[in-house]
Amino acid sequence: MDYGLRFSDPARYARTLRRAHELVIAGFPRPEIPTRLVDSWHRSMALGISPDQHSPRHLHEVSEVLELRREHRLQQVMPALHDLLADDSRSGRHLLVLTDAGGEVLWRVGSPAVLRRADTLEFSEGADWSEAGIGTNAISEALATGGAVQLFSAEHLVRTHHEWACTAAPITDPATGRVLGVLDVSGPLDTISADTLRMVRCAVRVAEALLGTSDGGTSPGAPSPLGASRRPGPPAARTAGVESLELLGDKPSAVFADGTRTPLTLRRAEILALLDSRSQGWSAEELAYELHGDAGTPQAIRTEMFRVRSMLGGAVESTPYRLAPGLAGRSDAARVLRLLRKGRVAGALESYRAPLLSRSGALPVQLLRDQLDMAIGSAVRSSGDASLLARWLSTDMGAADFLAVEALGRLVGRGDPRYLAFRASCPAG
């Protein structure tokens, strides 16, 4: 059986698994269902779980779960897991779930539509998703095997789960090796990708690394990430706030209030340039498409955004991703545009020291770079100031501006040495 079909043709793969499911339940082994899953099915049914059962047992009321969360160690890493994997936007299609060591659901995050769909399965806070609670599923398998697992459609025992694809992995205490809970990402069959398992494993490593710090990566008394109107910043964020972003040139960096600078990788600088360009923010899906085209995945963006937010803290907000009010419009590129809007063309030209992220080949960054060039060039050409035109033509950004050369010629005369010099180095296109 072609395992890759679960990504390329999930509906066809699911039909094959459902046929195999019925045969295995009837006592006829099929190679499509791994032996470890068949063994789990048998254990589940021996515990009284029926394939037609759709209701897990409930161990606590939601109000009691809220109390359990406050005392649970995974409370400390939930903000980071939320930033890495959750999508609670209106268009979000997958569910992020975090259980305790027994498989009881303590947290779940998703869009209203996904939460409603999960409610039909009672995949909710306080429900027991262990093998004994609801039968074979990704959470129960992660607990049984101690590793990351992925269950697709009819690999689940209970038939009402056959429309779901679930990926889960245990989170352990780095000091003792004791299982603290299970991280699970679940959604409709077509939400799974070849990267899903890798992303869950990566998130577990992040969680375990944070648990290994003295405070779990959170400040004392930090509010619950799901109960607060604004989530706390990522754990590794610096205490000094970000003062501005330097995005012009080939060495982008973040400037902090204490005067220090932190270099930015090109990819992170590209993301920040996009955030800087739009006040209403961007979803992970939009950023993935802008930066990677059809090959982009929201999970990869969320991972990168977690790293950005770990570096810059509260300077970047999520859902959607956007610069916080204190940083919005504080980049060197934004300063150039702000000066232009105030009519301060000379100041804008002085501030425009280099092209926007000059090493970037990303199309959206190229467009922003061209827009900045056009804005400065138009303002300088309209200024009627020969000295400004000469300064603009002396920069790398304005050196090829033939219209600016002609504007200079009209002001100083076509016999002027300045015009002749710029005209020689900027032939008409």
Which residues, in sequence order, are CB contacts of 169 under 8 Å at separation 6+? Answer: 142, 147, 148, 149, 182, 183, 200, 201, 204
Q: How far apart are CA 341 and CA 338, in angstroms?
A: 5
Structural domains of the chain ordered from first start: 5-211 (3.30.450.40)
Nearest to 230 by CA among 305, 324, 301: 324
What is the dihedral angle through the alpha carbons of 125, 127, 131, 132, rounded to the nearest 10 degrees?
A: 150
- The DSSP symbol for 137 reads -
Bridge partners, 317 (sequence order): 322
The pLDDT assigned to 228 comes to 34
Nearest to 392 by CA among 382, 384, 383, 404: 404
The pLDDT assigned to 294 comes to 80
Q: How far apart are CA 175 and CA 105, in angstroms?
A: 24
Averaged over successive runs of 10 residues, the pLDDT of the chain (429 residues) comes to 73 93 94 94 94 88 88 92 88 94 95 92 94 95 94 96 96 92 95 88 92 55 36 44 92 90 91 92 89 80 81 82 87 93 93 94 92 91 90 89 88 87 75
Q: Is 77 helix (H, G, I), strand (E, B) or coil?
A: coil
Q: How far apart are CA 334 and CA 416, in angstroms?
A: 35
Decide: residue 53, CB within 10 A, 0-12 exposed, 13-18 middle, 19+ buried: middle
The pLDDT assigned to 192 comes to 86
